[in-house]
Structures are given as structure tokens and as C-alpha cells.
Amino acid sequence: MRKHIVAGNWKMNNDLAMTQSLITELKKQSQTSNAEVMIAPTFTNLWSAFETLKNSKIEVIAQNMHFAESGAYTGEISAEMLKSVGVQTVILGHSERRAYFNETDELLAKKVDTALNNKMRVIFCFGEELVDRKSGNHETIVENQIKKALFHLEADNFKNIVLAYEPVWAIGTGETASPEQAQDMHGFIRKTLAKKYGQETANSVSILYGGSVKPTNAKEIFSKPDVDGGLIGGAALKADDFYAIVNAF
């Protein structure tokens, strides 16, 4: 069975004290679902997050990393650095990285390779913009993003890949893809994987939905057969809301 995952992407929010206090609130929540729960604080607070989370099942993950193993890349963070504080999973390809930091599919392919070579798990994000959705090109855009960044991999690599479909028009806008739109796209993504790697591999990959998931809409979105979890932005910054989403499975 595919893993259910709910991951909170905190983006550039929460300083050290706020990180510790949100984690303390998260630890008080009770989990009734079987989803794997992850949080992605900013780099400077990863170590403290691990310390504050001791004896909890919540996994601390990173929001990004560089493709090089080390070297003269001022301001960047390597896989080794993340692993040295305990991080085993990294989000790559978030639309904000693509839009504001010019991350291309070609660059992301390199980052994915580096993460996998370092035995890390990747949550790989992609999704179309509003103009693509309006013109009916959303499937082609998504197919190309996946092909360019991931289709050089072997089927076996997908044990360490989680996909996150995040339509750009739904991120932070309050506008969510309808459960049907999410299911249609997730079904299409799984079909695309199956064509290249076979049905067994395609069935084993968790595909998360991200974009204005809230306690009020999570249950309906998660009820769809190809939606295996969520990547949560704004609602992950409040412990009660985040756990209402975690428990929506």
C-alpha cells in the first residue's frame, strides 16, 4: 500500500522561538490517522527542530538543497550538511524556487541525483500555472516537468521519490483545485509513470496534492484514490489546523 504523507512546508516563516513554540504545540496534538507527518522549517532552525521534537514521530525535512556535494557556492546548503543534522528528506522543485530563483527542470534533475546519491528521499514538486490550466495545456506542462527532471532515473529510484502536484494558481491563493481536478491530474501522473516504468512502480509512488489545503477541504481531496497526501503551506503554521489535515485520512 502507498504511504499517506502530510508534510508542512513552513517556507520562510517562523524564527527560532516561533519554531520551538509551534513544535511544542504540534507535539500536544493527537494523531488518529496513519499518515506520515513531516515538517519543513527553514535551514537555520532544522537542528533545533530535531532537538525539540525528540521522541516524536514527526519527521523534520528540508525545503531545498544545492546539487553540488560541496565547494564555492556561497549561501548554499549541501546534502551532507542536511544529513549531518539528521535530515533524510528534501523538498525539491517547489514552484517558488522555480519562479523566484530560476530553478529549471535540468537543474532539478541534478539536485534529484545528488539527493538520491546521498540516500535521501525527495519530495519532488511540479505544477502548471493558471495560463496553462486556462489554455488546457496543464497535462502537457506537468508531463514535461516530470519527464525532464525524473525520467533519467531507474524504476528502483522511485522508492525514494514522492511526487507533489502543486498547481501554481492554487498556492497561497485560497483557491483549491477541486477534488475532481486533483484526481484527474494525479491519475494522469500515475499513468505517465506507468507508461515509462510499469504499473507496479507507478502504483507504489505516493502523489501529494498541494495548494490551499485546509481543514475544511482536506477530507474530500484525500478521499480521491490517487491522492496520497498533502503538502501544506499556510495551514501548516497552526498546530490545530495542521493536525486536522493530518487526521483527515
Segment near ligand 13P (CB under 6 A); pick from 44-52, 68-76, 105-113, 205-213: 205-213
Q: Of the candidates 23, 232, 246, 248, which one interacts with ligand 13P according to CB under 6 A? A: 232
> Which single residue brings its beta carbon nearest to ligand 13P?
233
Alpha helices (H) in the chain, listed in sequence order: 16-28, 46-52, 79-84, 95-100, 105-117, 130-134, 138-150, 179-197, 199-204, 218-222, 239-246
Could you tell me the sign of the dihedral formed by the alpha carbons of 41, 231, 104, 98, in that order? negative
Out of 20, 52, 145, 212, the residue judged to bind ligand 13P by CB under 6 A = 212
Does 210 participate in binding ligand 13P (rule CB under 6 A)? yes
Active-site residue flag, 166: yes
Query: In b/e form, how buried is each residue of 206-244, taking b as 16+ CB within 10 angstroms?
Result: bbbbbbbbbbebbeebbebebbbbbbbbbbbbebebbbb
CB atoms within 10 A of CB 99: 12
Give the separation between CA 144 and CA 100, rounded to whole angstroms: 20
Measured CA to CA in angstroms, residue 152 lies from 131, 147, 158, 183, 194 at distances of 28, 8, 11, 26, 15
Site string for ligand 13P, 159-198 (x = CB under 6 A): -------x----xx--------------------------
Question: What's the rounded Cα separation, in Å, for the pair 169 and 175?
Answer: 7
Binding segment (CB under 6 A) for ligand 13P, from list 44-52, 108-116, 187-195, 209-217: 209-217
- The question of whether 138 is a catalytic residue gets the answer no
- Pull the grid cell for residue 31: 494523531
Exactly one of 213, 221, 239, 248 binds ligand 13P (CB under 6 A); that residue is: 213
Catalytic annotation, pick one of 59, 96, 128, 166: 166
Site string for ligand 13P, 87-116 (x = CB under 6 A): -------x----------------------
Nearer to ligand 13P, 166 or 226 (CB): 166
Per the residue annotation, which of 4, 94, 138, 186 is the catalytic one? 94
Grid cell at residue 53 = 521534537
Q: Which is nearer to ligand 13P, 10 or 197 (CB)?
A: 10
Helix axes 239-246 and 16-28, enclosed angle (nearest 10): 50
Nearer to ligand 13P, 163 or 201 (CB): 163
Position 8, amino acid? G
Q: Which stretch binds ligand 13P (CB under 6 A): 64-72, 132-140, 146-154, 211-219?
A: 211-219
Q: Tell me the three cell numbers of residue 177.
A: 483545485
| Residue 21 CA from chain centroid, whole number | 23
Annotated catalytic residues are 94, 166
List of residues contacting ligand 13P (CB under 6 A) = 9, 94, 166, 171-172, 210-213, 231-235
